[in-house]
Amino acid sequence: MSLSATYNRFIDWRERHISAKQLVLLLSFFVGVFSALAAALLKTLIHLIQQFVEQQLIADTRTWWYLITPLIGITLAALFVRYIVRDDISHGITKILYAISQRKSIIKLHNTWSSIIGSGITIGFGGSVGAEAPIVLTGAAIGSNLAKLFRLDQKTMMLMIGCGAAGAIGGIFKAPIAGLVFTLEVLMMDLTMTSVAPLLISSVTATAISYFLTGYTPMFEVRSSDPFLMQRIPYYLLLGITCGFVSLYFTRGMNSLEQAFKNHIRPFWLKALVGGTTLGALILLFPPLYGEGYDTITQLLNNNAYAVFDNSPFARLGNTPLLIIVYFTLIILLKIVASVATNGGGGVGGIFAPSLFTGALTGYVFAQALHGMGIYVPANNFALVGMAGLMSGVMHAPLTGIFLIAELTGGYHLLMPLMIVSVVAYLTIMLFEPHSLYAMRLAQKGELLTHNKDRSVLTLLKMDSVLETDLTTVLPETTLGELVKIIAQSRRNIFPVIDHNGQLRGILLLDEVRNIMFQPRLYKRFTVEQLMVSPQAVLQHDMPMEKVMEIFEDTGAWNLPVVDEHKRYLGFVSKSKIFNSYRHVLVHFSDE
């Protein structure tokens, strides 16, 4: 028996003995298991490479190897992506959002392993990015491909992607609640009775496995912190506003630098060279920019900021509070440069860790500035809630920021300031930037799925699904007599007029010729070119459906032609066909 026949028999057995709901719950468990193991594998790979670099190359002293190791890592990762993967695996969360909205929730199989290797090499050699987005893409790819293996529909595949993302967050951060809310806020999946159980199963399963493999200790262990005091609420509000503006700088600055890097540095080898040397030079001057920066966060949360500063080349100038504030502020400003140099040069990594790192520094600098004005606030507490503020602002995900930082640090006693700073930071950036760094690229193209049901359904609709190609085309030189014969055989009252190159010249409406079509004396006098009219608008084949509906509303038309980039006629789209398809998709994805 062939492998294909065996597989078909297995699918038939599953359909007879395991219901769809049971299968979803079972798959969500395995997605959680595999996501946790993938997270453990990535962290182990990063640790082994870092251990080799620090012990064999850099040893115990800061040397010029810092200029070289990032270049090595970025180059190796770029070569791996270019010649082995042969696909773009950067911007992991954006790729998930794109797969959900534009690829019917299908994520390529290689994403179950390629991001692990690429980000492991990048971060292990000092890349200033995070491992979280790559592992979330890995988890989502595991969920998507398991669902595809069992021939599940698009709606269930979308849920399995969410399970993979929740499992990845739970596995790498030991944060089950954050894993759940991340899928709701960042991946913009709706919380329903059918989705909450699988998401929780994946997230809790992955967290439990992570506990088993690495222990119960939170990722950032805070040995001492002051309790929350009501009189500090105004300062937390100010910190939230500050985090909102730093998030705006982080989002727009990183997006602008990425575009500049992409547009102005073309050759593959030059990107790696510029990215690697830029990052190396920054790390040489500012050692906290090396790697994910989690060691620096731990030091700040335990009031050891001077230890961070003492490892810098500026320590010889002294360690006054003002100098430390200036030093950390420069790192905040330069973190996006280091991250863009890493990813733009060919490395693989995400912005989870950079946003946490920048948030901790922002909170600490804010507290030190208050100290300079004679106002005492616990700097480590402000560093802790600053992480939540930056994450909420950059990702537009206040709930994720609140619960992730609480679970990462065990700082549940600071839940109130976490909520204040996260919400205020989110509201602040929303005044200026409606989309997160993950979503802005897709939103600009109209390819973003959101919690707005109308927009989401329109995003899921594709031009091919509503394109009508059964209209009879006519040539401009066709005479009225010939046109009458064509009309007699046609079922439609619209006739696209195209030239010999297939380009749309206009349209001919039956109502426009009804009064002359029964006058034989005019049959040779008039041609289609004389009778045709211009359409009220012309649609492009790659136009988002939301834009299509806007054009229908603006023109008042019910039927509009569609052309390709060379103005060649492809078909017609009718508003009624869009409404019918809209209802079908809405019923399918809202069915409980």
Per-residue pLDDT averaged across 382-400, rounded? 94
Beta bridge partners of 350: 130
pLDDT digits (tens, 9 = 90+) for 356-385: 999 999 999 999 999 999 999 999 999 999
* CATH for the stretch 455-590: 3.10.580.10
- Residues 513 and 485: their CA atoms lie apart, in Å, by 13
Whole-model pTM? 0.80
Q: Per the structure block, which two tokens stand in for 447?
A: 């390819």
What number of other Cβ atoms are within 10 A of residue 237's Cβ? 15
Percent of the chain with pLDDT over 70: 92
Cβ neighbourhood burial of 218 (10 Å; 0-12, 13-18, 19+): middle
Higher local confidence (pLDDT), 376 or 514 = 376
Cβ–Cβ < 8 Å for 466, 558: no
What mean pLDDT do residues 410-423 have? 91
**Paired strand residues for 507:** 496, 533
SS3 state of residue 503: strand
For residue 192, the number of C-alpha atoms closer than 13 Å in the C-beta half-sphere is: 14
Rounded Cα distance, 236 and 259, in Å: 34
Least confident of 104-108, 346-350, 396-400, 582-586: 582-586
Q: What is the chain's length?
A: 592
Question: How would you class 359 by CB atoms within 10 Å of its CB: exposed for 0-12, middle for 13-18, buried for 19 or more?
Answer: buried
pLDDT digits (tens, 9 = 90+) for 201-210: 999 999 999 9
pLDDT value at position 455?
55
Looking at the DSSP assignment, which residues form a beta bridge with residue 539? Answer: 562
Cα 254 from Cα 325, distance rounded (Å): 23
Q: Which two tokens stand for residue 10?
A: 């297995």
Q: What angle do CA 460, 466, 470 make, to 5 degrees?
A: 165
Q: Which pLDDT value is given to residue 450?
A: 47
Helices 352-372 & 321-344, crossing angle to 10 degrees? 160
Task: Classify 570 as helix, strand or coil.
Answer: strand
263-284 average pLDDT score? 91
Average pLDDT, integer, range 406-416 = 88
pLDDT tens string 331-342:
999 999 999 999
pLDDT tens for each residue of 146-201: 999 988 888 888 899 999 999 999 999 999 999 999 998 888 666 666 778 999 99
Q: Which CATH fold would you assign to the domain 3-214? A: Clc chloride channel (1.10.3080)
The one-character DSSP state at 498 is E
Does the structure show a pLDDT above 50 at 592? no
For residue 515, pLDDT over 90 is answered with no
pLDDT higher than 90, residue 118: yes
Comparison of pLDDT for 583 and 142, the residue scoring more = 142
Taking the C-alpha atoms of residue 259 and residue 253, their distance in angstroms, rounded to an integer, is 10
Whether 21 and 98 have beta carbons less than 8 Å apart is answered as no
Q: Does 507 score more than 60 pLDDT?
A: yes
Structure tokens at 489: 């055989």
In what helix (H) or strand (E) does residue 573 lie, and over which residues does it extend? strand 569-574
For the domain spanning 230-447, the CATH number is 1.10.3080.10
The terminus-to-terminus CA distance of the chain in angstroms comes to 39
CA 127 – CA 73 distance, rounded (Å): 7
The answer to whether the 230-447 and 455-590 domains have the same CATH topology is no
Q: Which residue reads 């102005």 in tokens?
A: 264
Domain positions in the chain are 3-214, 230-447, 455-590
CA distances from 522 to 179, 473, 478 (A): 73, 21, 13
